[in-house]
Amino acid sequence: MRSQGQVRFITVTSRFQMIAAAIVLAALLGWAVSLAMMGWTQYRAQADLASLSQREAKVTTAEERVEAYRDNIGEVAADLEKRQEFLENMVPTLPEDLVAEVSGAESTTEAARTVSKISAVLPEAAALARMEKRQLDFVEKLTHLADYRAERAETALRKLGLDPSAVLRKAEREAMGGPLERLSTASDGSIDPRFERMGLSLARMSALEQVLDGVPQVLPASIESISSGFGYRRDPFSGSGAMHNGLDFRGATGTPIRSAAEGKVTFVGRKGGYGKVVEISHGNGLMTRYAHMSRFAAKVGMRVDAGDVIGAIGSTGRSTGPHLHFEVRIHNRPVNPRPFLETAPHVLKEVRAVPGKPHEDA
């Protein structure tokens, strides 16, 4: 190294070189394994959907359904009653707007063909066939709408810089949509693949929309009062350069602080230089932190909605005056809150304003 006319040498030992090489190799191996796992997850998901599609096609085109009515109409009636009970118990668990969309969606044709064929061959089974048609209509509409809403949510998450595939992998690990796994729609204990596909579609939609609801979307304080942004700045105490991991909102002591998104309060108390702090978990590793409070209006375990008052601006901890220090963290890594607060309201408004209906080619 040459500095001010002088040359200095740094000796790197063989042991140090071997350790450095091992670290690089481990990092490359971890990256390769991560890529392989992502690829396998996508391959398995595509294979599962392909298998379900094949089974759905088989159910749709099979003549066995007519034969089932002819061979044992009592067993068919029992199966349809079991399906109906499941659907009636499931509806109250669905989002109200989704149920309204299903009611307004156009009827499908596959179920109509089934009921027409059965009614023509077995007039005495016409009432049961109409019940089956209503069930299949509902299941197919719900599946198409859930797929459509999941696509909208994926697009919105990408616009916000989040990874939808990571959300779905986490949802898969947590086994969302579990009750459908125990459903049997036939006397032999099997499940109609159309019902199974509906469950997968609803679980995917639910996971993605839950993350959207937890995205910071409401200003915790007035945007006009932002006094310090995210990134490197001059530390107000030492005067040296320092990393600032959030946004500072200047305000009078006692000014209300609002939750930026819905979630669960996971911490209320003092935390080092942050002073009085409230932390809210929004799921999937997303957390918001509100610091330097003068008082609390939240308790650990409390569920809050976006915009709920959780405390008041103060100057506790390492602070030069009354203000709110606001952070957004993903898996405990601080990220700039401003893109969320500026982009999320527009993205979410666009998603929620579009009528939920499947694409024409769905």
| Same-domain pairing of 179 and 307 | no
| Same-domain pairing of 62 and 197 | yes
pLDDT at 162: 82
Q: How far apart are CA 232 and CA 242, in angstroms?
A: 5
pLDDT at 176: 43
Residue 282 domain boundaries: 223-352
Name the domain boundary from 213, 243, 263: 213
Q: How far apart are CA 86 and CA 185, in angstroms?
A: 9
Top-confidence residue, 28 or 40: 28
Query: Any idea how long the chain is?
Result: 362
| Same-domain pairing of 82 and 230 | no
Token digits for 153? 């949510």
| Same-domain pairing of 230 and 191 | no
Name the domain boundary from 168, 195, 213: 213
pLDDT at 27: 59
- Any domain includes 174: yes
Q: How far apart are CA 297 and CA 257, in angstroms?
A: 9
| Same-domain pairing of 305 and 333 | yes
| Same-domain pairing of 58 and 184 | yes
pLDDT tens-digit map of 96-141: 888 887 776 666 666 667 777 787 778 888 888 888 888 888 888 8
**Does residue 296 register a pLDDT over 90?**
yes
CA torsion 351→352→357→362, rounded to 10°?
20
Top-confidence residue, 239 or 249: 249
Q: How far apart are CA 149 and CA 24, in angstroms?
A: 42
Top-confidence residue, 256 or 343: 256
| Same-domain pairing of 231 and 209 | no
Asked if residue 82 lies in contact with residue 184, where contact means CB atoms within 8 angstroms, the answer is: yes
- Any domain includes 32: no
| Same-domain pairing of 182 and 242 | no
| Same-domain pairing of 235 and 109 | no
- Any domain includes 36: no
- Any domain includes 29: no
How much is the average pLDDT of 1-9? 59
pLDDT tens-digit map of 135-193: 888 888 888 888 988 998 888 888 888 888 876 776 666 544 444 445 555 556 667 78
- Any domain includes 218: no
Q: How far apart are CA 292 and CA 251, in angstroms?
A: 12
pLDDT tens-digit map of 186-227: 556 667 788 888 888 888 888 888 888 888 989 998 877 776
3-class SS at 142? helix
| Same-domain pairing of 57 and 178 | yes
pLDDT at 135: 86
Task: Work out how many domains the chain is built from and give that number.
Answer: 2
pLDDT tens-digit map of 41-78: 444 444 455 455 555 545 544 466 677 777 788 888 88
Token digits for 275? 């002073």
- Any domain includes 3: no
Top-confidence residue, 135 or 297: 297
Asked if residue 163 lies in contact with residue 105, where contact means CB atoms within 8 angstroms, the answer is: no
| Same-domain pairing of 84 and 126 | yes
Name the domain boundary from 185, 213, 241: 213
| Same-domain pairing of 177 and 297 | no
